[in-house]
Structure 1
């Protein structure tokens, strides 16, 4: 971020906070750890006003008490000398501040963060995958019916432009008898791979419901599938990942190991640098965008891949694609099909397994100002420098 463009007299004048609600396109079932996720979704949004102009963005851990210390502060003081937002302000403010800066500069965020990388004036296009394929089949006793249902769900995504699919596996870890559930995992992955076709990349995510040997059984059974990565097969363990990597190497099976979502092991990045893990997946909202710019730079230096986790936060889905301009080895946007009332993402579109990110200033996400103002007054809060000072 080029802080040279930030004028010394730009101060935070107002911070408002509201919760927006919406729904997924389809009810989301269980995964290897927990039960039904459902349809309803929420997004915590902060609207920040600086020099008479507003920016919007996802915000977590924001409270009026915390925000009161920001009101009246110079925007320049929120950044360090490298042009990175200080860590103390990131979770609460990085998205609305970046959106504000983009609007003030008349540039999309991806151009603000691209650094030395040269970008054309055309919209940024980034690979994406459909992450909506949960355990929606548990009520069906017949495996063939279960496969047909999950294929139909994948076809819904395909009709909307998706070509790559992440499939939840691990039914035998909790929700079904071990071998019956594992057999169904394998059958469903085969079925969805038929929908994706030979060019479609398949990822499987066990949410730590497998162990090492069970992972090998499943991967061996899926050797004929265009399987791109296995995610959270079991809780991170360097020795077990070393074993799995060697097993894959000996078989000549080119499947990446992905991990980092959730309660990731603290040494995961070091293990990846040592060759145990290929793809890192920390969340795009927490620890967030700025953290990912820093982490992505480190991963790029070691030839590792970045694929930020984003499930259930409709703002993060779209914002995460901008990160691809700053991280060379950015893999995919994780796409969860959600509609949030008052949040307009019509500038984005999905086509042939890619998300087209608009060149609109800021994050290119529109908000219904009147609705947000109403929600701020009804169930949110607002702090204004004129009223505080």
Structure 2
């Protein structure tokens, strides 16, 4: 309560991908990375915390207010007009308490978190199928051991049959090259139910870990899919909730057993919201974290702090605008730094 917000400023942080990233089922090339605006909150006693905003807000209304009126370490942000600074305030509060964020959240799980590469896009459309093998090797050398593959080439970029054949070829290639890898597939809602059934029949021996956003969250389609998967010897999980989610609908589908993994974005859903969502979630969680390695680190703290997360999304990229943060990615495991806050210092 002795800490009073004295200033709020902005800084640019971002990512430089290991390579130019191609298309998914409905969006064009991702390019080489991006910059985002983060907020830095300083207090009258010299503490500083920073983070990505989860939405728009007015920093000026927070100047002169005590930190304990904005965030409760046991629950998250408590002032509605400060919610947009969710991550900056969690970082600040944990730094004041001199603990990592995941410890402030409860330390419910290990600070070593499984982390997959989410960077296998449709680069083959420009450079041929061999580029998928190159990208997998590059991400493996970076430290990943598990991979999420984008599928749905026939939704926009290829004739439907040819696109499905290519999706199958990429899946089988990945399994052949990495027999021990955990493999997930993500259609970004680019499949119909019929297309998905054809795809599943063709890759039934590939031991997929989850199916992500294969189509829009239609109840009757999910019921049919669940029944179809019940006949599989190894049933992949159903993951959904990333794209513009109706969170109540996602939570309801999870309660019915139709969604196994909830994917609401780690930033746009927010850490405070995840703290309230997780205790009643009738499914596992794996917050969407594509775009910036910083989002992956947020997801890792959430996983280690709240539990109920088996694996998180990683970005094959280097962070721009920060200095060495002490995190390590090795053999597919992201180990959190034992530093106050999120443990990341600005350059």
Q: Same fold (TM over 0.5)?
A: yes
1:340 aligned residue: 319
Residue 318 (structure 1) aligned with residue 297 (structure 2):
yes
Which residue among 331, 344, 352 is the counterpart of 2:331?
Answer: 352
State the 1:82 CA deviation: 5.6
- 8 Å CA contact 1:348–1:356 kept in 2: the answer is yes
**Corresponding residue pairs, total:** 345
Structure 2, unaligned stretches of length 5 or more?
A: none
Alignment of 1:194-343 (within 5 A): 194-198=176-180, 200-265=181-246, 266-299=248-281, 302=282, 304-343=283-322
Checking the alignment, whether the CA contact within 8 Å between 2:105 and 2:306 is kept in structure 1 is no
Q: Is the 8 A contact 1:158 1:196 kept in 2?
A: no
| Structure 1: gaps spanning 5 or more residues | 1-7, 369-389
Deviation at 1:62, TM superposition (A): 4.4
- Aligned residues: CA RMSD: 1.9
Contact kept, 8 Å, 1:12 with 1:72, in 2: the verdict is: yes
CA 1:92/1:33 → structure 2, altered by over 3 Å: closer, same or farther? Answer: same
Alignment check: 8 A CA contact 2:39 2:51 kept: yes
Name the counterpart of 2:34.
41
| Residues 282-312 of structure 1 deviation map (CA, whole Å, 9 limit, x = unaligned) | 000011111112212112xx3x110000111
Q: Equivalences for 1:17-166 in 2 at 5 Å?
A: 17-50=10-43, 51-62=45-56, 66-79=58-71, 83-86=75-78, 88-89=80-81, 91-114=83-106, 117=108, 124-140=111-127, 145-146=128-129, 148-166=130-148
Deviation digits for residues 245-297 of structure 1 (CA, Å, limit 9, x no counterpart): 01110233411000001122451210111111110000000111111122121
Per the normalisation by structure 1, the TM-score is 0.84
How has the CA–CA distance of structure 1 residues 351 and 317 changed in structure 2, closer, same or farther, with 3 Å as cutoff? Answer: same
1:313/1:257 CA distance change after superposition, 3 Å: same
Distance 1:35 1:366 in 2: 33
Change (3 A) 1:259 1:201: same
Contact 1:259 1:281 in 2 (8 A): yes
Corresponding position of 2:2: 9
User: What is the deviation of 1:327?
Assistant: 2.8
Indicate conservation of the 8 Å contact 1:293/1:326, yes or no: no
Go from structure 1 to structure 2 and tell me whether the alpha carbon gap of 1:359 and 1:270 turns closer, same or farther (over 3 Å shift): same
Given that residues 43 and 315 in structure 1 are in contact (C-alpha distance below 8 angstroms), is that contact kept between their aligned partners in structure 2? Answer: no
